[in-house]
Amino acid sequence: MTGRQTIPAVTDSADVVILGAGPAGLTLGNLLLAAGIDCVVLERADRRHVQTRARAGFLAAHTVRVLDRHGLSDGLHRRGLPHGTCEFRTDGGRFRLDYGALGLGERHTVYPQQDLVTDLLTHYLAAGGRIRFETEALTVDDAAGVRPTVTVRDPEGRPCRWRARYVAGCDGRHGAARRSLPAAARHQRDHGVSWLGLLAEAPPSLDAVGYALHARGFAGHMARTPEVTRYYLQCERGTAPDAWSEERIWDELGLRMRTADHGPLHRGRIIHRSVIDLQSDVMETLRHGSLLLAGDAASLPAPAAAKGANLAVLEAELLAEALIDDLAHGDPGALDRYSPRCLAHIWRAQEFSHWMIQLLHAPYASDGEALFHESLRRSRVESLRTSRAHQEWFAENYVGI
Ligand code: APR
- The 10s digit of each residue's pLDDT in 311-321 is 999 999 999 99
pTM > 0.85: yes
CATH class of 10-83+106-188+280-356: alpha beta
Does 232 qualify as catalytic in the annotation? no
- Is residue 45 in contact with ligand 1, taking CB distance under 6 Å? yes
Average pLDDT, stretch 84-100? Answer: 95
Centre of ligand 1 from the C-alpha of residue 349, in Å: 19
In the predicted model, is pLDDT for residue 25 greater than 80?
Answer: yes
Average pLDDT, stretch 366-370? Answer: 83
Task: Provide the pLDDT for residue 392.
Answer: 96
Task: Provide the pLDDT for residue 75.
Answer: 96
When mean pLDDT is compared across 36-45, 161-170, 262-271, 370-379, the lowest value belongs to: 370-379
Centre of ligand 1 from the C-alpha of residue 65, in Å: 22
In the predicted model, is pLDDT for residue 379 greater than 90?
Answer: yes
Q: Whose CA is nearest to atom 11 of ligand 1?
A: 20
Query: If we measure between CA atoms, which residue out of 171, 272, 262, 188 comes closest to residue 231?
Result: 272
Choose the catalytic residue: 166, 232, 338, 398.
398
CA distance 368 to 373: 9
Does 338 qualify as catalytic in the annotation? no
For residue 384, give Cα distances in angstroms to 89, 187, 191, 242, 332: 12, 29, 22, 35, 46
Task: Provide the pLDDT for residue 7.
Answer: 75
Average pLDDT, stretch 330-352? Answer: 95
Average pLDDT, stretch 49-66? Answer: 92
Task: Provide the pLDDT for residue 184.
Answer: 75
- Is residue 312 in contact with ligand 1, taking CB distance under 6 Å? yes
Calculate ∠ Cα 95-96-102, nearest 5°. Answer: 135
The residue among 315 and 301 whose pLDDT is bigger is 315
Confidence of residue 182 (pLDDT cuts 50, 70, 90): confident
Centre of ligand 1 from the C-alpha of residue 364, in Å: 32
- Is residue 42 in contact with ligand 1, taking CB distance under 6 Å? yes
Confidence of residue 56 (pLDDT cuts 50, 70, 90): confident
Locate the domains of the chain by residue range: 10-83+106-188+280-356
Q: Whose CA is nearest to atom 18 of ligand 1?
A: 171
Choose the catalytic residue: 307, 345, 354, 361.
307
Closest ligand 1 atom to residue 176 Cα is 7
When mean pLDDT is compared across 31-40, 156-165, 365-374, the lowest value belongs to: 365-374
In the predicted model, is pLDDT for residue 2 greater than 80?
Answer: no
Closest ligand 1 atom to residue 26 Cα is 25
CB atoms within 10 A of CB 249: 18
Q: What φ, ψ does residue 225 adopt, rounded to 5°?
A: -145, 175
Average pLDDT, stretch 286-309? Answer: 93
Mean per-residue pLDDT of the chain = 94
Choose the catalytic residue: 303, 338, 354, 361.
303
- Is residue 29 in contact with ligand 1, taking CB distance under 6 Å? no
CA distance 158 to 141: 18
Average pLDDT, stretch 101-106? Answer: 92
Query: If we measure between CA atoms, which residue out of 156, 125, 151, 155 comes closest to residue 139?
Result: 151
pLDDT, tens digit, 9 for 90 and up, residues 6-22: 778 888 999 999 999 99
Centre of ligand 1 from the C-alpha of residue 25, in Å: 8
Task: Provide the pLDDT for residue 1.
Answer: 44
In the predicted model, is pLDDT for residue 363 greater than 80?
Answer: no
Centre of ligand 1 from the C-alpha of residue 162, in Å: 19
- Parallel/antiparallel/unpaired status of strands 269-283 and 287-288: unpaired
